Amino acid sequence: MAWLSGYQERPIVSGGEIALRSASLYAAVCSIVAAFGRSNAEGGRLIDVSVQEVVALGTETAPQFYDLQNVVRRRNGEAQKQAGIGVYPCKDGYVMLYAAEAGVGTGWTRLIEWLVESGVEGAEPLLSDEWATNKFKQTTVAKEAFERIFGLFASTRAKQDLFVEGQKRRIAITPVNGPAEVLQDPHLLATDYFRELDIGASEPLPSPGSPFSLSITPGLVAGRAPRHGGCPQ
């Protein structure tokens, strides 16, 4: 994962204890499946979750690239992987865009059709056969041209508007939000994701809640994280 994450000259370790968090989610789902499928006659079930195997999913398609094409994937840093994939500026910040044919249907075609409908200068040629290949999209000429054309479009639109309309068009585009914006995310608020926790401050603070919601046995966050260098009171 470190080989795939970070800047070109150095890796950046993924934050948030992703290995343990991922394994805990797998263990939780396995527990639900085991409980659902158990019978009194068969007795209990053994659940064995390997943290190493779970976190290996973080290597994305790197094993397949090596196996099928003898290519060792590595981190791109700030550089775009190809036209239509990467972080792009918009009116009030940035959006993460993944518009490619492989793996996400016809996302590239739908995106360019959106640009053409919006009257963006230079967008229509992006529907040509030349632009249909990932090989061409990975060239410097293609990446610079797309960044300029998409910039004309995104510079007049807010990231939340791009996200909502992109969802309607089945285009993988999402806002790059800071902490304050995450706390105001409409989806997270609608699903009651945040919990108010007493951490010893002047007032309770919002904290991440359960990553899934169950109707009969809803997730419960009853305590706070340990204090630095000690255990929670």
Q: Is the pLDDT confidence value at 181 over 80?
A: yes
Q: Span 56-71, mean pLDDT? A: 88
Do 139 and 58 belong to one domain? no
**What mean pLDDT comes out for the span 150-173?**
94
User: pLDDT value at position 226?
Assistant: 66
> What is the overall mean pLDDT for the chain?
85
The mean pLDDT value for 75-82 works out to: 75
Task: Say whether both 149 and 203 belong to one domain.
Answer: no
Which sign, positive or negative, has the C-alpha torsion 209, 182, 113, 126? negative
At position 167, the amino acid (one-letter code) is Q
Say if residue 184's pLDDT is above 80.
Answer: yes
Helix (H, G, I), strand (E, B) or coil at 120: coil
Q: Are 23 and 51 in contact (CB under 8 A)?
A: yes
If one compares 105 and 41, the residue with the highest pLDDT of the two is: 41
Pair 174, 182: CB distance under 8 Å: no
| Cα dihedral sign, 22-27-28-30 | positive
- At 40 the pLDDT is 65
Q: How far apart are the C-alpha atoms of 230 and 60, rounded to whole Å? A: 36
What is the band of 93 on the pLDDT scale with cuts at 50, 70, 90? very high
Structure letter (DSSP) for residue 100: -
- Between strands 93-98 and 172-175, the pairing is antiparallel
Asked if residue 149 and residue 110 are part of one domain, the reply reads yes
Q: What is the pLDDT of residue 110?
A: 92
Is residue 159, in this structure, part of any structural domain at all? yes
Last residue of a domain, one of 45, 69, 93: 69
The percent of residues in the chain predicted with pLDDT above 90, rounded, is 41
pLDDT at 209 over 90: no
Cβ distance 176 to 94 under 8 Å?
Answer: yes
Looking at 155, 176, 197, the residue that finishes a domain is 176
Same domain membership, residue 161 and residue 186? no
pLDDT at 224: 67
Q: Which residues are CB-neighbours of 121 under 8 A, at least 6 positions away? A: 149, 152
Residue 112 half-sphere exposure toward CB, CA atoms < 13 A: 20
The confidence score (pLDDT) of residue 219 equals 72
Q: Are residues 63 and 91 in the same domain?
A: no
How many domains, in total, are found in the chain? Answer: 3
Asked if residue 190 is part of any domain, the answer here is: yes
Mean pLDDT score, 51-56: 89
pLDDT of residue 17: 81
In this predicted structure, the answer to whether residue 121 has a pLDDT above a threshold of 70 is: yes
Q: How many residues does the chain have?
A: 233
